[in-house]
């Protein structure tokens, strides 16, 4: 694909004419002497540079990352610093009001939880900075509904596995997961190998009704989780000491240099709103309560986002009260 002729390069537009070697002049990487700062059309860059305040840090992070070049670490820090700022409060308020109206119109159970410590949604997403983060289109951090559902489903799977075996670690979780997704007659035959009791049958049936199977969509609808207030993000670091070892090149030795990697994280104590609704026409709507309990338990004990094994991504109740079944209290 030919380069956009309006991209800035040495202060002049890139040429779209091929050179004698057959390559276009815009195909080469900018050298250290070039003033190429952003891989964007010149007009867009000029407008961007005139803005004193940018109200959407997600836009900076996803679209306005400067060309890193030989100043990689400096410009990377610059981009992360810009994306760290709090989003526009008016945009978040409007988005939350629409989110809440949609959830209530669908009869959803709405509750809020706060981050117990830092929370990193979307660390594995592709990005020019090589460190991802999940920004909503309006610039605030969020957890997609698909991820929310996956967290609740994982907890429900662990709960069922723990009842089928005293030690869930000895159970083939992947096999159980595939069994639960089978068509009804095949499921009943395959599930028998676990020697389930009446409670296990009921729990498996509830799992299938809530999350669905290969033949039927689940009754529960999980909404995106969004913050209820605007806030600035934290800058955190990973500091792997043995990079060649992790790359499979050398054994770990003392002369390997630490590799400082900076990334964005939601601070501790920030409230997020969650909502779960029941699909219209789906059977057993009373299972909505169980779906919410599964989700709350998962957020408390499994965590969400990246680096949960290091203590990130866990949520706690916004008050010290708990419900009778021991799950986190909701709103």
Segment 254-313, tens digit of pLDDT: 888 888 889 999 999 999 999 999 999 999 999 999 999 999 999 999 999 999 999 999
Residue 64 lies in a domain: no
Count how many domains the chain has.
Answer: 1
| Sequence-ordered alpha helix ranges (H) in the chain | 42-50, 57-63, 72-83, 89-105, 145-164, 173-180, 184-191, 198-211, 243-246, 288-301
Q: Which domain holds residue 228?
A: 88-331
What percentage of the chain reaches a pLDDT higher than 70?
Answer: 84
Q: Is 63 inside a domain boundary?
A: no
Task: Identify the bridge partners of residue 275 per DSSP, sorted by sequence position.
Answer: 110
Mean pLDDT score of the chain: 85
Torsion over CA: 58, 113, 110, 298 (sign): positive
Per the CB < 8 A criterion, the answer to whether 38 and 48 are in contact is yes
Q: What is the mean pLDDT of residues 216-240?
A: 96
Q: Which of 49, 31, 32 is nearest to 40 (CA)?
A: 49
Q: Within a domain: residue 42?
A: no
Would residue 100 count as lying in a domain?
yes
pLDDT band at 331 (very low <50, low <70, confident <90, very high): very low
In a domain, 161, yes or no: yes
Of the chain, the percentage scoring pLDDT greater than 90 comes to: 62
- Taking the C-alpha atoms of residue 226 and residue 99, their distance in angstroms, rounded to an integer, is 9
Check if the beta carbon of residue 118 is closer than 8 Å to that of residue 127. Answer: no
pLDDT at 322: 52
At residue 8 the predicted structure's pLDDT band, cuts being 50, 70 and 90, is very low
| Residue 60 within any structural domain of the chain | no
When mean pLDDT is compared across 47-61, 109-123, 208-222, the lowest value belongs to 47-61
Residue 234 lies in a domain: yes
286 domain-assigned? yes
């Amino acid at each position: 694909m030919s380069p956009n002729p309006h991209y800035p390069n040495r202060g002049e537009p890139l040429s779209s004419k091929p050179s004698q070697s057959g390559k276009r002049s815009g195909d080469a990487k900018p050298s250290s002497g070039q003033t190429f700062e952003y891989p964007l059309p010149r007009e867009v860059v000029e407008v961007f540079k005139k803005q004193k305040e940018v109200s959407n840090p997600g836009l900076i992070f996803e679209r306005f990352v400067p060309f890193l070049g030989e100043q990689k670490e400096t410009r990377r820090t610059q981009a992360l610093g810009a994306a760290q700022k709090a989003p526009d409060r008016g945009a978040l308020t409007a988005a939350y009001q629409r989110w809440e109206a949609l959830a209530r119109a669908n009869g959803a159970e709405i509750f809020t939880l706060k981050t117990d410590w830092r929370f990193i949604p979307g660390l594995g997403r592709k990005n020019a900075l090589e460190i991802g983060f999940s920004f909503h289109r309006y610039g605030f951090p969020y957890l997609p509904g698909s991820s929310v559902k996956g967290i609740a489903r994982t907890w429900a799977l662990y709960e069922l596995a723990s009842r089928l075996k005293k030690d869930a670690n000895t159970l083939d979780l992947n096999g159980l997961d595939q069994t639960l997704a089978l068509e009804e007659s095949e499921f009943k035959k395959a599930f028998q190998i676990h020697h389930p009791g009446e409670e296990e049958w009921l729990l498996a049936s509830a799992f299938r009704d809530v999350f669905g199977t290969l033949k039927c969509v689940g009754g529960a609808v999980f909404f995106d989780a969004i913050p209820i207030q605007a806030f600035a993000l934290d800058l955190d670091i990973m500091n792997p000491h043995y990079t060649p070892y992790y790359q499979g090149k050398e054994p770990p030795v003392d002369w390997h240099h630490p590799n400082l990697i900076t990334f964005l994280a939601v601070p501790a104590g920030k409230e997020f709103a969650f909502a779960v609704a029941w699909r219209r026409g789906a059977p057993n709507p009373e299972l909505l309560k169980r779906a919410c309990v599964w989700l709350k338990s998962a957020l408390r004990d499994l965590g969400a986002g990246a680096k949960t094994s290091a203590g990130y991504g866990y949520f706690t109740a916004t008050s010290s009260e708990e419900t009778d079944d021991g799950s986190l209290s909701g709103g």
